């Protein structure tokens, strides 16, 4: 399958000699929903900036659907839609003008642009606000406006730089649905986010950048499979004040009625309940803790920071033996 994006040995050194990217390689397949993760200052936004022509690269090559950024910039730009991290529209302009004008920059005539803007704004629940100034929109609406603006020219590659930052959970979930549908319809999506459950639930493949280097690039499934333990959250029928001394499980008490239990993947759930029964711990409900990717992310970044990049991730996934666990 053709690559939507191929980055080879991309480097960026800013004027103040800060080396933001130290030669990263990345491939995103057409139709993929790809997560690009990294801590603040890791190099995500610089990478996106270079792809979108907002930042000049120092070295390396960027290709979008086979078009070279250096020699075919126009073609590259025609295929990309960007939802940046910061609100960057003119807040004094009417909502519909922002979207229609953006289409104009891609050479789309005003009539067609207005029709498309109507479709998008209705879809993103902004149609009623179309004649109001953008400054009157709430934070969630502003985010959706940026998505509408990025999609007006029907890009084949949509890049979202933390699109749900500061958005309440209800709107975030509706945006997830919107993006999933968009991806299902064929748009390749690259997502950066600090909500790791967002990346976990939506993305098929993932790359993690740390200090200007790609420390991991694989499928989400493969990455998550490296977890050797799974963490369950249990609500208890009776309070538990202290973890039994000789308990075979790693248990953390969140509060007297809630515990977190780590279970080795080789063990079955029956084993978990056997042990809990043995200590007369009775659960009323149980759920998966949803921060699996977060655990891996922290470990990968930490590993790299500790100069242990070569170490196999699975080595690190033994249950934590902190003072809070038995």
Partner 1 sequence: MTNTEKLTAFKTILYKEVMRFLRIWVQTLVPPAITMTLYFVIFGNLIGSQIGDLDGFKYIEYIIPGLIMMSVITNSYSNVVSTFFTAKMFGHIQEMIVSPVPNHIILLGYIGGGMARGLMVGLIVTLVSLFFSSLHIEHPLITIAIVTLTSMLFSIAGLINAIYAKSFDDITIIPTFVLTPLTYLGGVFYSINMLSDFWQSVSLANPVLYMVNGFRYGILGVSDINPYASFSLLVVFIIGLYSFAYYLLKKGVGIRS
Q: Which residues bind partner 1 (CB under 8 A)?
A: 14, 46, 49, 52-56, 73-75, 77-78, 80, 82, 84, 86-93, 97, 101-110, 149, 153
Rank residues 110 and 237 by Cβ distance to partner 1 and give the closer one. 110
Minimum CB distance to partner 1 smaller for 41 or for 256: 41
Secondary structure class of 44 (helix, strand, coil): helix
| Rounded least distance, CB 104 to partner 1, Å | 3
CB of 99 to partner 1, least distance (A): 10
100-117 core/surface letters (b: 16 or more CB in 10 A; e: else): bbbbeeeebeeeebeebb
Whichever of 73 and 156 has its CB closer to partner 1, that residue is 73
Least distance to partner 1 from the beta carbon of 24, Å?
17
Cβ proximity to partner 1, 58 vs 325, nearer residue: 58
Euclidean distance between CA atoms 44 and 191, whole angstroms: 10
* Nearest distance, CB of residue 55 and partner 1, angstroms: 5
CA distance 159 to 191: 6
Q: Which is nearer to partner 1, 151 or 300 (CB)?
A: 151
Task: For strands 188-192 and 33-38, give the pairing.
Answer: parallel
Q: How far is the CB of 62 from partner 1 (least distance, A)?
A: 14
Q: DSSP for 213-279?
A: EEEEEEEHHHHHHT--EEEEEEEESS---S--TT-SSEEEEEETTEEEEEEETTS-HHHHHHHHHHT
């Amino acid at each position: 399958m053709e690559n939507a994006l191929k980055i080879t040995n991309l480097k960026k050194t800013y004027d103040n000699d800060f080396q933001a990217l130290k030669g990263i390689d990345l491939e995103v397949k057409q139709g993929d929903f790809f997560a690009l993760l990294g801590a603040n200052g890791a190099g995500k936004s610089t990478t996106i900036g270079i792809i979108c022509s907002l930042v000049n690269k120092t070295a390396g090559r960027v290709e979008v659907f086979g078009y070279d950024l250096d020699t075919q910039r126009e073609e590259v730009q025609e295929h990309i839609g960007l939802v940046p991290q910061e609100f960057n529209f003119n807040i004094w302009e009417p909502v519909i003008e922002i979207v229609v004008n953006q289409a104009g920059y891609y050479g789309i005539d005003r009539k067609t642009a207005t029709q498309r803007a109507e479709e998008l704004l209705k879809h993103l629940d902004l149609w009623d606000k179309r004649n109001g100034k953008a400054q009157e929109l709430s934070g969630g609406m502003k985010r959706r406006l940026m998505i509408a603006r990025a999609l007006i020219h029907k890009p084949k590659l949509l890049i979202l730089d933390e699109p749900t930052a500061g958005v309440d959970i209800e709107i975030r979930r509706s945006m997830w649905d919107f993006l999933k549908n968009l991806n299902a319809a064929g748009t390749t999506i690259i997502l950066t986010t600090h909500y790791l459950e967002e990346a976990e639930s939506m993305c098929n493949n993932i790359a993690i950048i740390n200090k200007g280097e790609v420390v991991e690039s694989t499928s989400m499934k493969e990455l998550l499979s490296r977890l050797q333990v799974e963490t369950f959250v249990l609500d208890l029928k009776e309070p538990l004040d202290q973890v039994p001394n000789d308990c075979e499980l790693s248990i953390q008490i969140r509060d007297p009625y809630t515990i977190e239990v780590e279970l080795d993947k080789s063990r079955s759930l029956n084993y978990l309940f056997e042990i809990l029964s043995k200590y007369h711990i009775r659960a009323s409900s149980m759920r998966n803790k949803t921060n699996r990717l977060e655990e891996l992310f922290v470990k990968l970044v930490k590993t790299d920071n500790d100069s242990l990049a070569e170490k196999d991730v699975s080595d690190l996934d033994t249950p934590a033996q902190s003072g809070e666990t038995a």
